[in-house]
Amino acid sequence: MTETETHQEIIEKSWYRCESYGLSHGTQPDFGDIREGEVSALVDRHQNLVHTTENEVLPYYENILSNSSCLIVLADNTGHVLNTWGASRFRGRGHHGLVPGHQWQEMGVGTNAIGTALATGQPVQVSRDEHFLRANRYMVGAASPIYDTQKEMIGVLDISSDAYLPQDHTLGMVKLMSLSVENQLIYAAFQQDHYVLTFSTNISGLDSHWAGMLVLDDRGIVVSANRRAWVLLAHDLALMNIENIFGCSFRELSQQPPNVPLTLRVFERYRMWVRVQPPLAPPLKIPDFRVQEQTVAAQPTMQPDRSSARAADIPPDVVPFDRLEHGDKQVRLILTQARKIIEKDIPILIRGETGAGKEILVRSLHYHSSRKRSTLVAVNCASIPTELVESELFGYEKGAFTGASAKGSIGLIRRAHGGTLFLDEIGEMPLHVQARLLRVLQERVVVPLGSSETFPVDIRLVSATNRDLKAEVDQGQFREDLYYRISGLNIELPALRNRADKGRLIHYVYERLQAESGEPLPMSQTVHDLLLRHPWPGNMRQLVNVLKIAHAMADGQQLQPDDLPADFYDDMTRRSAGPVSAATPTAAPAVDTTDDLATTILNLYTQTGGNVSRTARLAGVSRNTVYKYVRRQRD
């Protein structure tokens, strides 16, 4: 939505969308069909958000809300209701659909406050006749999205009622409540060991949810900020030094008593009231140059896990360590080794085919290490243009070269200070950059481009490659001394097709996907067999993509072979025509056993109504092979 859009335009656009979804005014709402057991798993995954709303925000509105007949609804960012509070009269109308587990996206329910706020990313009020479906026209709703510090929408807060709601008042209140949830999430994540600076144009605003909020580490670097701060300061705040914002030294600011606000000029212009709250507990270590915390309001998307870290705490891009392996002894061994080594000052080099899960492994390793509170900086050396690799990695002084930012840059290596640096596709690093990296690893200091100053760094280094680096050393394309520096522990992550736990791993990935989409879908035995037999040249990445496509194609029905994409079968045909891949000389045969193949072919043959050509195409075998197995079955 653009800022200039009127309310009427927002509603009209939403109605258009509803028409394009094939809805008509008489359509009955479709709230999705999440099963009862899954509702509690859904709520569990968002317990931080639910808890914060219930305990930190709603009590402040109790007086106002207790006299009205409205219902407060919290939904996640897919429109699933997580919880409701308030009017029992309204709540009593069981048919209204505002109950945990029901999904309020426009696609199923038409224009409505939650769904339209989700679709536009903006607060919106939808009055009775503005609902697209007649079935919803008994109510009025006002909803406002909730964002995390990465500006990702994590949920929606809504006030709905079947009685009259004063429009401005209710929309204003729900906006304020969503800001309040955002602020509370930031507080909860940082107040223990960070400085929290609040600022506002007037002194009374300091206590309101409209105040800007900056989270500072103990050097005065901004590590997080609320949405108001971005609006009020209109600046890229990440990693800025507070001195550059308020023109006042961090020492001075941090020594200011928390209950005595002061006025300062922002960017040497506007005056603001500022208050600084020191950490509740003094920091144990001195972090440096941290990027924005990923833990704030992170939305875990996985099933409850068995690991020591609670699933609800694990960010969505981290696979719990004990879910990386599901019964493959080789993988278990390398995981055990890597977990021990990451705690020592020994670099790890991971070799593995593309998409085998190298980065996922590193994220999990970092997250389960003692450095989890510090930053993991993942750099794909192949994706940075050659001429920029050096400045990106090592940083630069202001004005170090034409086109350099006026502020200078600290570079990715220093960003990982106190944490982990992951250099993916290290084989792609140009030779002159390799020499510079070697010096950093030997001397443990970074010298930015155009500078003579040295900055000490404390990093754990993990590198990854899908090339044979030893061979590259022999050919003079990779420095031998660097090779030995980065390969303290050398591990090989096997290709998916060669993993002994392939079946269980496939199921785990599928379970994650179902949990993410909130739409459970059984998988037919034939699909399961086909997945097991596939050569997976793109490994885990390809598996995830294939499953996502199949899940979308299945339309809520059991996954069938026809739901799998065409190139999935192309791979199988290619494999049956020749060796799996030249890059995997040690590859085990992709077909697990002849029995599996026979079962798959016979199942497909039955499902296609005895169509030999389709069976051959779906199974990735020749027509003769199909005849052979069918005949064998008959005899």
Ligand X SMILES: Nc1ncnc2c1ncn2[C@@H]1O[C@H](COP(=O)(O)OP(=O)(O)OP(=O)(O)O)[C@@H](O)[C@H]1O
Name residues contacting ligand X, limited to 225-254 (CB under 6 A): none
Nearest residue to 547 via CA among 518, 575, 507: 507
Binding string, residues 193-232; x marks residues near ligand X by CB under 6 A: ----------------------------------------
Query: Considering the rule CB under 6 A, would residue 356 count as an interface residue with ligand X?
Result: yes
Binding string, residues 437-466; x marks residues near ligand X by CB under 6 A: -----------------------------x
Query: Considering the rule CB under 6 A, would residue 352 count as an interface residue with ligand X?
Result: yes
Query: And the tokens for 19?
Result: 């028409």
Task: In whole angstroms, give the CA distance from residue 26 to residue 133.
Answer: 6
Candidates 13, 91, 507, 541; binder of ligand X (CB under 6 A) is 541
- HSE-CB at 518 with a 13 A cutoff on CA atoms is 25
Query: Considering the rule CB under 6 A, would residue 548 count as an interface residue with ligand X?
Result: no
Query: And the tokens for 26?
Result: 């008489």
Q: Looking only at Cα atoms, what is the longest distance across the chain?
A: 92
Name residues contacting ligand X, limited to 357-396 (CB under 6 A): 357-360
Query: And the tokens for 578?
Result: 């020749």
Query: Considering the rule CB under 6 A, would residue 288 count as an interface residue with ligand X?
Result: no
Query: Considering the rule CB under 6 A, would residue 354 count as an interface residue with ligand X?
Result: yes
CA distances from 541 to 509, 544, 555 (A): 10, 5, 22
Task: Identify which range of 56-64, 351-359, 434-442, 481-489 contacts ligand X by CB under 6 A.
Answer: 351-359
Contacts of 215 (CB under 8 A, 6+ apart): 186, 190, 194, 195, 196, 197, 222, 223, 224, 225, 293
Please give the angle made by the CA atoms of 313, 318 and 321, to the nearest 5 degrees.
90
Give whichever of 74 and 338 is closer to ligand X, judged by the CB atom. 338
Q: Please state, as a whole number, how many other Cβ atoms lie within 10 Å of the Cβ of residue 257.
A: 10
Give whichever of 357 and 620 is closer to ligand X, judged by the CB atom. 357
The minimum distance between CB 342 and ligand X, in angstroms, equals 16
Candidates 119, 540, 580, 626; binder of ligand X (CB under 6 A) is 540
Give whichever of 288 and 428 is closer to ligand X, judged by the CB atom. 428
Name residues contacting ligand X, limited to 71-110 (CB under 6 A): none
Across-strand partners of 106?
Answer: none
Q: Over 440-468, what HEC string results?
A: HHHHCEECCECCCCCEECCCEEEEEECCC
Binding string, residues 412-441; x marks residues near ligand X by CB under 6 A: ------------x-----------------
Nearest residue to 381 via CA among 395, 368, 392: 392
Q: How many residues bind ligand X (CB under 6 A)?
A: 16
Query: Considering the rule CB under 6 A, would residue 287 count as an interface residue with ligand X?
Result: no
Task: In whole angstroms, give the CA distance from residue 547 to residue 505.
Answer: 13
Binding string, residues 321-350; x marks residues near ligand X by CB under 6 A: ---x--------------------------
The minimum distance between CB 198 and ligand X, in angstroms, equals 38
Across-strand partners of 283?
Answer: none
Query: Considering the rule CB under 6 A, would residue 572 count as an interface residue with ligand X?
Result: no
Give whichever of 82 and 509 is closer to ligand X, judged by the CB atom. 509
Would you tell me which residues interact with ligand X (CB under 6 A)? 319, 324, 352, 354-360, 424, 466, 509, 540-541, 544
